Structure 1
Amino acid sequence: MKLEKSGKGPLVREIRITPIAIVDPPLLNAAGLHAPYALRTIVELETEDGIVGISEIPGNEAIDEALREASNIIIGKDVYQLGKIQRELEAWFGKDSSQDRGDAPWDQRKLVHIFSALEVACLDIIGKITNRPVVDLLGGKMRDAVPFAAYLFFKYEGAGGKLGFSKDPAANGWAAARQEKAIDPEGIVAQARAMCQAYGFQSIKLKGGAFEPEVEVASMQALYQAFGEGVPLRFDPNAIWKPETALKYGKIMEPILEYLEDPVRGQDHMAWLRKMIQTPLATNMCTTSFDEIPASIDLGSEDIILSDHHFWGGLRASMELSRVCTTFGRQLSMHSNSHLGISLAAMVHLGAALPDLPYALDTHYPWQSEEVITGGALEFQEGAVPVPSGPGLGVELDRSALATLHQQYLDCGLKKRNDEIEMQKVHPEWTFKKIRW
């Protein structure tokens, strides 16, 4: 396609879409079991002047195909014209609705994925052009480093990847600890100690929904006994509890929780529970889009919204969400999914720009053993990640690693995430239930 100069900004000449697979341990959740590989998609936008911006989103075959369709819109566009790009994407694909999110704990809406990928890559380009970090494009740095929480999982033994349920005997430190089984309070406490020692995390989250409430609540109590009042604790059963179950165990955990995340399904049930317990309620399942906020405010369904720029329409939309939360007495933190350093860098820039950051953010990063950026994994300092100092996102693609992880995608055969199928390989009779206990 021949491009004409607009005189207004750099035009996109090419988009490159590379699906990758990264090794993922056998982590348990309400929807089943993580596959041996997690899927991500790396997006590169290159301008006519040869400047490349990058982004990373949760991957699946449908999203990748939609990104290829989006090349009809993004090629030839001025990277500064993000509003126009978003409007044209909405006209092409149709706006997402809350009904599109589905029942699984993760989010599979199409438009928010596509636009967030393009927006982050465009902001990376703009930062490189202006020689400013992305945090400055979002309003400027409010903090030099962004705190994260240790994100614990019930899990089966194993490393994931080709090793599956086997362990790498050469691993040591956290690399060895993350391969260990954790299906009871003792295993969870051991996992927490190892992760906090390796990364310096100052707060802890446990993903629940995998076992009976008695086991999971006992694990939270064991964490409280092991770490004391000085380490904030949060718990997330992924909306798999009945309201009466959530009330019973929510009351038991009131003395030890910083917040309780998605104990029940839906805004109505969350609002009912919110009136019954003192613990703040957080969500990344019942209020997941701007069109759900009016009902959230009317009902009082949560205290904390866990944003995710991949699912809320990008970094700038997340800044808008922060203002909405402030206006209506909500607090804002961040949700996470299995990710690499490009997504983490974007989260850090956003976290550094947010006016208020009352809670450490979620991250799966310690569970990943591979990287796609040059220089290896981003460093945590006392549980926090310093804002990358370079222009744009401040991270660059390692093209050799990208090629390796793309080949891993081709070899593993996975096209989308399905934790139910993975669980059935271990427990053939197991089926996903939206509400189990």
Structure 2
Amino acid sequence: MKITAIKTYAVKVGIRNQLLVKIETDEGIFGWGESGLSGREKAVVGALEHYAEFLRGRDPFKIGSLWQEMYRSQYFEGGRVLQAAVSAIDIALHDIKGKALGVPVYDLLGGKQRDHIPTFATTFAAPGPEMIDQAKMLVEHGWTALRLSPAGHEEKQIYEPREHIAATAKWLVKAREELGEDVVLGIDYHHRLTVAEAASFCQKMPSGTLDFLEEPIRDESPGAYEALRRLTDVPFAIGEEFSSKWQFQPYIERDIHQFNRLDVCNVGGLTESMKVAAWSETHYVDMMPHNPLGPICTAATIHFCAAVANFSWLETRASPAETHLGFDSSDFFSTQPRLEGAVYPVSDAPGLGVEVNEDLLAKQSFEFWEAPHLKRRDGSVTNW
């Protein structure tokens, strides 16, 4: 079997652009992958065009070898753009191999360790009574792990952390009181805080209020996270923007965090994800994968979650609290993962188990989208 074509579809599907990649072979078997670099899909398309030049004619079964060749056979190796391209290709190659062998992708990763994948769901209301009502509704629907909403994320231009952390902390304490001790509660700060701001936020709540704090500060400096660790006892969930095992290395080896927000569509696909998971297992760090994209990403991540021992929850954006997203992707993906209550069943279909309407994809166009460029009130730029 040989690779004959690598096709890219950077198109608007529902509320967001998706970058889907189809790899075709001379035996008629094809695979689908997805890239995760949201907002910079065009850059990844360019990288995919470069990789396609030497991947055509190659054996798609040699997934590990092709991964190494894509990573090492260039002077400027790695980085988020290139690894997002490698991720999509790697996932598609696993889809091909699973289909060719007649086995689900999880069998290529060592076999299934669980029959369904627990998820965590996210509220979208600002901290207040509505946020707590949404959380209670999710618990009634079966969720035992929730990610709550910080204040200030609804503002599109101005963000001042100190104006929001006190209000957020107050309502998180109330949420814990209302929801009880058995529900897992976390919050995502989208790396908007400094070490001092994140420490102040945590210190405004009794110990045990939060079960995880996601992405409180930027990730470039592991030492900064170590400084924050000394100032709070809240477990950290980080890593969704990491693009290789090397970025995870200092966090794992120095025992800085407790949950890996690994993204299979950014880190280097399933090949790299399994290495990060195994390494994390030696330090008792659990996988809590990032999963904000489309059904290809969800399916690949489900297979990953099924095959690893050190797993906690998978992110889902399909809960009843996020019906405001308002899009049914069935026309584009006739077969795709579907929640059953608060869990995803693990498909036993060959490959990823997703069917894609390529003709409909081809009719869609790309729509440029730019994340909000947030500023402080003094006019300086801050993190989105």
TM range (shorter): 0.7 to 0.9
- Indicate yes or no: 2:284 matched with 1:346: no
Give, in angstroms, the shift of residue 71 of structure 1.
1.3
Q: Distance in 2 between matches of 1:286 and 1:85?
A: 23
Contact 1:20 1:40 in 2 (8 A): yes
- Indicate yes or no: 2:35 matched with 1:46: no
The amino acid of 1:16's aligned partner reads: K
Give, in angstroms, the shift of residue 434 of structure 1.
3.6
The amino acid of 1:152's aligned partner reads: T
Cross-structure match for 1:392: 351
Contact 2:19 2:34 in 1 (8 A): yes
Deviations 1:178-215 (A, max 9, x none): xxxx3341232233345555x63221013536361122
Q: Distance in 1 between matches of 2:310 and 2:225?
A: 24
Give, in angstroms, the shift of residue 50 of structure 1.
0.8
In structure 2, relative to structure 1, the CA distance for the partners of 1:374 and 1:420 (3 Å cut) is closer
Provide the secondary structure at the position in 1 that maps to 2:217. Answer: coil
- Indicate yes or no: 2:101 matched with 1:130: yes
Q: Distance in 2 between matches of 1:292 and 1:195?
A: 34
**RMSD of equivalent CA atoms:** 2.8
Cross-structure match for 1:189: 132
In structure 2, relative to structure 1, the CA distance for the partners of 1:220 and 1:44 (3 Å cut) is same
Decide which of 228, 253, 258 is 2:211's aligned counterpart: 258
Q: Distance in 1 between matches of 2:288 and 2:309?
A: 11
Deviates more, 1:391-400 or 1:348-357: 391-400
- Indicate yes or no: 2:47 matched with 1:66: yes
The amino acid of 2:142's aligned partner reads: G
In structure 2, relative to structure 1, the CA distance for the partners of 1:432 and 1:348 (3 Å cut) is farther
Q: Distance in 2 between matches of 1:401 and 1:224?
A: 45
Q: Distance in 1 between matches of 2:295 and 2:8?
A: 17
Cross-structure match for 2:267: 312
Deviations 1:108-152 (A, max 9, x none): x11211111111111111111111000100000000111110023
Q: Distance in 1 between matches of 2:268 and 2:95?
A: 16
* Residue correspondence of structure 1 range 241-390 to structure 2 within 5 A: 241-251=193-203, 252-265=205-218, 266-284=221-239, 289-297=244-252, 299-337=254-292, 339-357=293-311, 359-366=312-319, 367=322, 368=325, 369-371=327-329, 373-375=332-334, 378-390=337-349
Displaced runs of 4+ in structure 1, greater than 6 A?
A: 427-431
- Indicate yes or no: 2:196 matched with 1:205: no
Structure 2 unaligned spans of 5+? 154-160
Give, in angstroms, the shift of residue 21 of structure 1.
1.2
In structure 2, relative to structure 1, the CA distance for the partners of 1:315 and 1:285 (3 Å cut) is closer
Give, in angstroms, the shift of residue 23 of structure 1.
3.4
Q: Distance in 2 between matches of 1:295 and 1:111?
A: 21
Contact 2:291 2:301 in 1 (8 A): no
- Indicate yes or no: 2:86 matched with 1:95: no
Cross-structure match for 2:157: none
* Residue correspondence of structure 1 range 17-32 to structure 2 within 5 A: 17-24=8-15
Contact 1:150 1:196 in 2 (8 A): no
- Indicate yes or no: 2:178 matched with 1:226: yes
Give, in angstroms, the shift of residue 13 of structure 1.
1.1
Cross-structure match for 1:162: none
Provide the secondary structure at the position in 2 that maps to 1:351. Answer: helix
Provide the secondary structure at the position in 1 that maps to 2:261. Answer: strand
Contact 1:274 1:300 in 2 (8 A): no
Q: Distance in 2 between matches of 1:207 and 1:79?
A: 42
In structure 2, relative to structure 1, the CA distance for the partners of 1:64 and 1:110 (3 Å cut) is same
In structure 2, relative to structure 1, the CA distance for the partners of 1:194 and 1:377 (3 Å cut) is farther
Cross-structure match for 2:3: 12
Deviations 1:90-113 (A, max 9, x none): 32473125xxxxxxxxxxx11211
